[in-house]
Every structure is written in C-alpha cells, then in structure tokens.
DNA sequence: ACATACGGGACGGCCCGTTAGT
DNA sequence: ACTAACGGGCCGTCCCGTATGT
C-alpha cells in the first residue's frame, strides 16, 4: 500500500499504447515536441522505457502517432463535428461553430494554443514526415469546410462566385492565426473578437438577393 | 611571442554584440529557441563563450534581445514601412502591402515561417518575459494598422462602423495564420491565395456609396 | 480465425537452434561478442526472443555454443582437414595447407580475421568459461599439428631434435599473428608473405641429409 | 578531509588531457574499446564529462589519441628501444629483445595481451580511422625491425637473400600471435616457448660461412 | 573584453532479460 | 516450443553555465 508499484496490469497492449499516446500528447502540447522529455512522458503514463520502445521505434514515431491518432481526432471533432450533413445552411453552421469555439475556449487553450499549430510551427521545417502528417490533418479540416461551402452553393445559400477551397483555407488560416495572437497576448478577448470578425466575414458570402427574407 | 594565434578580432564590443544577435537570430529562426544550441550560435558568430556571457547574463536574455533588436525591426519595416503617413487611402495602402508581401515571399520564408510567430508559439507559455516582449511587438504591428484605419475613418475612406483596433487585430491574426498554414503545407500558393482573400476582405470596409460605380 | 499471421514456422526445435547459432556466429564475427546485439541476431535468424531464451539461458551460453558448435568445426576442418592421416610427409602436408590457405583467403577473411582469435582477444580476460572453451579449440588445433610432426619424426621426415608440441604451438601462433596483422593492414599480400615465410621455416625442420641434394 | 572533492587543480589542460588518456588506455586495455565506459574512464581520471568533451569531440577521438599517444609509444619503446643504432649485430639484438620480453612478461600482460593487437582485432573492421592509425603503429614497428635487418645485410651479419620487409613483418606477426595464444591459454610458458622458437628462427638468417667461428 | 578549461546534469537510444500468454 | 509485452538500467552525446586567466 505504501509502495506505489501497482505493476502488472494484466498485459493490455492496446491500453498501454493509448496511455502512452495520451501522456505524450499532453507533454508535447505543454513543452513542444523537441523539449518533451521521454522520461516525463513515461512517468506520466506510468510505463517504462521498454514498453515505449516496444510500441514505437523512436521519439519521432511517437510524435507522428500523436498527430494522427490524438490531435487529428480532437481537431476534426471540434471544428467539423456539428455540421456533418448540414443540408440547410452551411454558412450559419460555420458561424455557429466559430461562436461556439469563441464561447467555450478555456484558459488552458488560450495559454497553450492549438496543439496542431504548435507542432506545425515547430516541426514543419525540421522533419518532412511531421510536415506531411500535419498538413494532411489541416487538409482534412479545410476539406470539411470546403465541402460545406460547396453544399451551400448547390442549394443557393452561398454566393456563386465563392471558391470553396480558397475560402476554406482562409477560414482555417484566420482561425489558427486568431489562436496564435490570443496566445501571445494571453487574452481570450482578442480570440473572441477575431472569431467574431471572421463570422461576420462569412455574412458577405451570402447571395445579395434574399438579404434577410424580403429585400426585392 | 611564441604562440601567434592570428585571431585578434579588433576588440569591438558593439560589433561583437551585433554579431551575436545576428547569429542567434538565424539559429533560433531555424531550430527554435530551446533547440538552438549556444555552441552553434557561437560557432556561427565566430566568438567564444566568454564573449557571449560578457554581453548577456544567460540564454534567455539573448533571446529577449533577439526579439527586441532584430525581429521587431524586421517585422515592422516589412508591414508598416510603406504606409508611414499614407493620408490618402489607408485601405489601398494595406492592400498594396498585403499583395507586395504575397508577391515577394521567398522559399525560405515559406519553409521557416514568421520568426516572431515561431517564437510566440514556442515560448509564450514557457516564459512570461518572452511572452511580454513578443506581445509588445505584435502590439506595435496592430497599432500601426489601427492608426491607419483611424486615419481612414477621419478622411472618409473607411466605413464609420469599423472598429480599428479589432480589425487591425484580425488582419494581423489572419496574416500570421496564412503564413502558418503555408508553412505546414509547404506552399506559397496557399499564402498568396489567403493574403489575396484578406485584401478582398478589406474592400468590404469601404463606405457603401463610392466604388459601387460599376456594379451592374 | 480472425487473425491469420501466415507465420507458423514448422515448429522444429533443432532447426531453430541451428538457425540461431548461425545468425549469432555471423553477428559476433562481425561486431564482436559484447557488441553483438541479441535483437540483431534474432532479426537475422528470423526468430523471437522467447525462442532464444528457450534454447539458451543467456547471451554467454549462446556465445559458448557458437565457439563449440560453429567456430571449432570450421577451424579444424580448414587447418586439419587435408592431412587426416598423411603418413608420408607431414611437413609437406603442412606446407600445402599453409599455401592453400594463403591462396584461398577471401577479402572478407582479411577484413574480419579469424573468428576464434577475435573471440580470444576480446573475451579471454573477461570470462573464464569463454577462455576455457576457446583454449580447448586452439588445443585441438595444436594437437593436430603436433601429431603430424610426431608421425614425421617416427618415419624420419622430421628432424629428431624437433619438439612437436612447441613447434605446433609456434605454427598456430604465427598463423594467427599473420591473420591479425593482415587484418589491421587490410592487405592479403602481407598474409600471403607471412604464411609463405612460415612454410619456408618448416623446411628447416627436415633432416639435414636429404633435400640437400642440390646445394653446391 | 572526508570529502573527496579536491577540486580546482589550478587549471592544467595538458595534465588533464594526459590524465584522461592514461585512464582511457587502462579502461580500453581491460574491457575493449566499445565496452569501455566513458563514465568509468572519467571516474578513474577524476575529471568530469565537460572536461572530456572539451578535449575530445567524441569517444572515437579519445580512442584514436590513445593509439597515437599512449599505445604507440609504449610499444615502440619496448620493441625498438634497445637497438636504436645497433651497428654491430642486429640479429643478436633482435634475439636479445625477444628473450628479454619473454623473461620480463608480467601476469597482467599474459591475461590482457598486447593493447595494440586487442584494438586491432576489435576495431579494424568497424572503423577505418582506427584501422589506419593502428596499421601506422604496426608499420613503425615493422620498419624498425626492417631497418635493423638492412643494416645487418650491409655489414654482413645477415644473409644476402633475406628480404628485410618480409622478415620484419613475419617477426611482428609471430610475436603478436604468440601473445594472442598465450593470452587464450592463460600461460606464460607458451609465450616464452614461442618467442624462443622465434629467436631460434633468426639464427637461420645468418650467413652460412662463419657458422660459429670454424666450420669448414 | 574576451578566451579557455571545466562542472555537472539530462536526454534519447538501446540493450539484456523476464513474464504473461498460447 | 514459441510469441509478444514489458522491466529497468546504462551509455554516449550534448548542453548551459561558471571560473580561471590574460
């Protein structure tokens, strides 16, 4: 009872792997990938070097898996979760998402920023494999937005001259930039203001005709 | 008299200091602050450890000085240089700046991103002093944009309902986000597209009367 | 039924053991015993750790078995193979063996040297059991040479004052030394020259009467 | 007096370096290069990691310096020291050297063998730079013997048909082989016997005429 | 104002061996 | 008979900072 050994969890490789990924994500989110200490991750996960070495060949592979299996899921759920097949009005859905993100941001998110963007800034120039996997995640995000805008063009809720790919890329970039600036300012106000400005920008993408029910 | 090292580098404290700052900036820009090796900086600068620790108390102080004396200047010159006192039409001046940045971006900038944003993402949560100095730089940038917009409101080239501070913050955030995404995508095309979208967004800030001449 | 690994390697304990010994020999020959990685041996053999530790209690035991079951056979076949019962003229048989070894040496042998000598140099001072088994192998080699010289004394082809044990030990030592020096010189020429000098030395062990036919 | 700190030896870089080399030599001699622990060397030398890293870029460089600055000197002094300019009779000088080495061998030398040969066997195939430096040392040894034999040919104490280079190489190889076999046998007797046989072999290199004063 | 020598610590990689499971 | 998960521990590298010396 005194000894905190608690060994032998009955051999659950899948659980061990997920435990490692979660611990690695938290440590990397906090310190960055290069500064993240494997020993700290191990202590947090409650496993040993041998287990880590069994599941991942080296630190980089652990980082790759964190991107693909932890960060990607979190991110897509947050930004694409509510508008799976929003056939009605994608622009409104996007605005709701932006405003919900602005409303529900935690102090921790303000301080630490977006985990994917952190990794992107740090590792993109240093490791091609990292860059590829990070960009693939950003691409999934952008594509989610672009598909929504395309649906809006199809049902007439989005202007014809809108390029869904370009606007989606701009939305993602502006959102990430908003988190970045809020992080260095240490201010959730700036994040909310920026996301609101972005939501207002979306209003300009609606067709001129219907402009609030009765315009013509 | 026996040994003749041929070194003897003129003993100019100011030059040594600037040499260190330049070398430190390049190394930090490339690897990040934590991963930047003092020995690598020293080798690049061609000075020794004694000189470094004569001019700076520790690694952090060197980093602070890089922000204040190297990065800040570069940044403000690039983004505020052309519109010092652009009394005529600040929105057009801003658009020109965005489009000039889009046109003149180098492959190195795409790969490595914005040095200030890199430092912001990495160091803001880890070191309050870093965060303060980085935010001060961003603030100078935002204020430059905000002053321009205020001038525009005064001379009627900018809509009355525009909040200069908020729009300036949004512009900086979107620009930084555009560099971030371009960096992880390894694509200058995405940067250009985003900066162009941002320039188009500025068009919506003009008063409704004018510039609507040839709409139909 | 769900998983189908396609492995299933026939379950043949003897074959597994020999496969391990061969892989271990090659890895040890190349890197030395201490530097030989069990994981590398396992990968080369295509078996897993469980199989290894089923057949051998630890790394040392694997090394001992390599000496006794792989190295010893190779060595004795090479140096004692051709003169099993050379009743006629042992000195000539020894000379033929030396010259055949000189002629048939491969670049790999030059680079890596004699596997028994490598192990002897590395492990003799560190592990008594290793030393014993290595010395037993050298002893078998020496005894093979000594028996041949004794037969030569009996049939008059070797001088009476020759001490077979001492000369045999000298031959083995000089041969091993020749391989050693050739290895560090990276030169097969030096090996051939030395083995030829050793063959010439054997000429001095013949009785003075004969072979002096054409001296004047 | 209790604390064994004894810091601050008044800054003696040369002494520190030699201390490191000596400690490294002993540790490498005992365990081999790859198995030699830097921490053990450091503990033996009484210096820290920082000092080591200052004097040598890595472990390999330390090993190279051990070969060039410790092993080479020891070896050449032992085998070439007594016959610097033995104008009289080089063969006798060589025999004296061999017999002196046989007489003065210590149990430690029997157990651990020749440090240069140990390094040669272990490192030659793994590191070209090691091989080069080791071979250079062997070459100096061989050249010392060869020069002596050449002088003997000049003054008539060595047979005309002797090839000094080849015989020198053979002598070095046989001597090294003798140490090798003695090491794995754990027997100084075998070393003495072999060196004596080698000394006797030298007798066959004298010109036939004078063969002990009165032969014809 | 600067250079060299050095202190001490931590990190990632890898390694040998054990054990739960089949 | 054999597999895979896992336990710990050690090693070389490298790093930041200090102290002595000129």
pLDDT digits (tens, 9 = 90+) for C113-172: 999 999 999 999 999 999 999 999 999 999 999 999 999 999 999 999 999 999 999 999
pLDDT at residue D99 above 90? yes
CB-nearest partner of A138 from B170, B184, B198: B184
- Confidence label for C215 from pLDDT (cuts 50, 70 and 90): very low
Nearest to A178 by CA among A113, A133, A129: A113
CA end-to-end span of chain B? 88
Percent of all residues in chain C with a pLDDT value above 70, rounded to a whole number: 89
The residue whose CA lies nearest the C1' of nucleotide F17 is: B58
DSSP label at residue A67 = I
Partners of residue B124 in chain A, C-beta under 8 Å? 111, 113, 183-184, 186
Closest nucleotide (CA of B17 to C1')?
E1
pLDDT at residue C89 above 80? yes
pLDDT number for residue A88: 80
Closest nucleotide (CA of A39 to C1')?
E11
Tokens of C188: 């097969």
Percent of all residues in chain C with a pLDDT value above 90, rounded to a whole number: 85
Which of residues C194 and A209 earns the better pLDDT score? C194
Across the range C51-79, mean pLDDT stands at 97
Q: What is the pLDDT of residues A153-186, one digit of tens each?
A: 999 999 999 999 999 999 999 999 999 999 999 9
Of C residues 26-45, those with CB within 7 angstroms of nucleic strand E are 36-40
pLDDT number for residue A10: 65
- Confidence label for B183 from pLDDT (cuts 50, 70 and 90): very high
CA D120 to CA D103: how far, in whole Å?
25
Quickly tell me which residue has 């040297």 as its tokens.
C113
Which of residues B177 and C13 earns the better pLDDT score? B177
Indicate yes or no: CB of B170 within 8 angstroms of CB of A197: yes
Indicate yes or no: CB of A183 within 8 angstroms of CB of B34: no
The pLDDT tens digits along chain A (216 residues) read 333 334 445 678 899 999 999 999 999 999 999 999 999 999 999 999 999 999 999 999 999 999 999 999 999 999 998 877 656 899 999 999 999 999 999 999 999 999 999 999 999 999 999 999 999 999 999 999 999 999 999 999 999 999 999 999 999 999 999 999 999 999 999 999 999 999 999 999 999 864 444 333
DSSP label at residue C83 = G
pLDDT number for residue C83: 77
Tokens of C74: 């190779």
Quickly tell me which residue has 């067709």 as its tokens.
A207
Half-sphere exposure of A8 (CA within 13 A, CB side): 0
Indicate yes or no: CB of D135 within 8 angstroms of CB of C194: no
User: Residue B83, SS3?
Assistant: helix
Other CB atoms within 10 Å distance of the CB of residue D57: 10
Other CB atoms within 10 Å distance of the CB of residue A212: 6
Distance B47 CA to E2 C1' (A): 9
Closest nucleotide (CA of C55 to C1')?
F1
Q: Could you check: is the Cβ of residue A54 within 7 Å of any atom of nucleic acid strand E?
A: no
Q: CA of B32, closest CA in chain A: separation in Å?
A: 7
CA B133 to CA B123: how far, in whole Å?
11
Task: State chain D's mean pLDDT as an integer.
Answer: 91
Partners of residue B31 in chain A, C-beta under 8 Å? 126
CA D75 to CA D194: how far, in whole Å?
19
pLDDT at residue B121 above 50? yes
Q: What is the pLDDT of residues D146-187, one digit of tens each?
A: 999 999 999 999 999 999 999 999 999 999 999 999 999 999
Indicate yes or no: CB of D166 within 8 angstroms of CB of C135: no
pLDDT at residue C14 above 90? no
Q: Which of B4-18, B33-47, C200-214 shows the lowest per-residue confidence on average (mean pLDDT)? A: B4-18
Segment D32-37 long-range contacts (CB within 8 Å, at least 24 positions apart): D32/C32, D32/C34, D32/C122, D32/D118, D32/D122, D33/D63, D33/D119, D33/D122, D33/D123, D33/D130, D34/C32, D34/C34, D34/C35, D34/D122, D34/D126, D35/C34, D35/C35
Distance B105 CA to F21 C1' (A): 49
Indicate yes or no: CB of C173 within 8 angstroms of CB of D180: yes
Partners of residue D98 in chain C, C-beta under 8 Å? none
Partners of residue B145 in chain A, C-beta under 8 Å? none
CB-nearest partner of B186 from A118, A121, A131: A131
Query: Contact at 8 Å (CB) between C176 and C149?
Result: no
CB-nearest partner of C177 from D30, D135, D180: D180
Task: State chain C's mean pLDDT as an integer.
Answer: 91
DSSP letters, D78-99, are HHHGGGTT--S-HHHHHHHHHH
pLDDT number for residue D209: 66
Indicate yes or no: CB of D170 within 8 angstroms of CB of C198: yes
Q: CA of C210, closest CA in chain D: separation in Å?
A: 18
CA A138 to CA A147: how far, in whole Å?
14
pLDDT at residue B8 above 70? no
- Supply the Cα-derived Rg of chain B in whole angstroms: 21
Q: How far, in whole angstroms, is CA B139 from its chain's centroid?
A: 11
pLDDT number for residue A57: 96
Q: CA of B161, closest CA in chain A: separation in Å?
A: 13
Distance A59 CA to E22 C1' (A): 32
| Interface size between A and B, measured as CB pairs under 8 A | 144
Task: State chain B's mean pLDDT as an integer.
Answer: 91
Across the range C93-100, mean pLDDT stands at 96
Helix axes B72-80, B90-104, angle to 10 degrees: 120
Query: Contact at 8 Å (CB) between C110 and C188?
Result: yes
Across the range B66-74, mean pLDDT stands at 97
Distance A24 CA to E21 C1' (A): 28
DSSP label at residue C81 = G
pLDDT at residue B1 above 80? no
Give the burial class of A4: count Cβ atoms within 10 A of its Cβ; 0-12 exposed, 13-18 middle, 19 or more buried.
Answer: exposed
pLDDT number for residue D88: 80
pLDDT number for residue C104: 96
pLDDT number for residue B164: 97
Integer CA distances (angstroms), A167 to B180, B190, B193, D144, in order: 16, 11, 9, 82
Query: Contact at 8 Å (CB) between D51 and D21?
Result: no
Indicate yes or no: CB of B173 within 8 angstroms of CB of A180: yes
Query: Contact at 8 Å (CB) between A190 and A181?
Result: yes
Integer CA distances (angstroms), C18 to C41, C50, C66, in order: 12, 15, 10
DSSP label at residue D201 = H
CB-nearest partner of A121 from B31, B125, B180: B180
- Confidence label for B214 from pLDDT (cuts 50, 70 and 90): very low
Partners of residue A126 in chain B, C-beta under 8 Å? 31
Q: pTM of the prediction? A: 0.90
């Amino acid at each position: 009872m005194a000894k905190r050994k608690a060994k032998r969890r009955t051999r659950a490789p899948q659980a061990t792997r997920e435990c490692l990924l979660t611990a690695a994500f938290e440590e990397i989110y906090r310190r960055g990938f290069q500064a993240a200490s494997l020993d700290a991750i191990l202590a947090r996960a409650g496993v040993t070097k041998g287990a880590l070495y069994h599941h991942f060949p080296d630190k980089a592979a652990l980082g790759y898996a964190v991107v693909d299996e932890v960060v990607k899921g979190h991110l897509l759920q947050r930004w694409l979760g509510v508008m799976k097949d929003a056939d009605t009005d994608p622009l409104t859905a996007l605005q709701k998402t932006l405003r919900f993100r602005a409303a529900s941001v935690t102090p921790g998110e303000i301080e630490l920023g977006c985990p994917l963007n952190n990794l992107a800034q740090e590792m993109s120039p240093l490791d091609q494999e990292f860059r590829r996997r990070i960009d693939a995640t950003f691409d999934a995000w952008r594509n989610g937005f672009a598909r929504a805008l395309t649906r809006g063009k199809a049902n007439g809720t989005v202007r014809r001259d809108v390029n869904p790919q370009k606007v989606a890329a701009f939305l993602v970039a502006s959102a990430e930039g908003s988190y970045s600036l809020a992080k260095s300012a240490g201010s959730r106000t700036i994040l909310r203001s920026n996301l609101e400005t972005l939501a207002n920008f979306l209003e300009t993408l609606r067709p001129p005709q219907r402009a609030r029910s009765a315009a013509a």
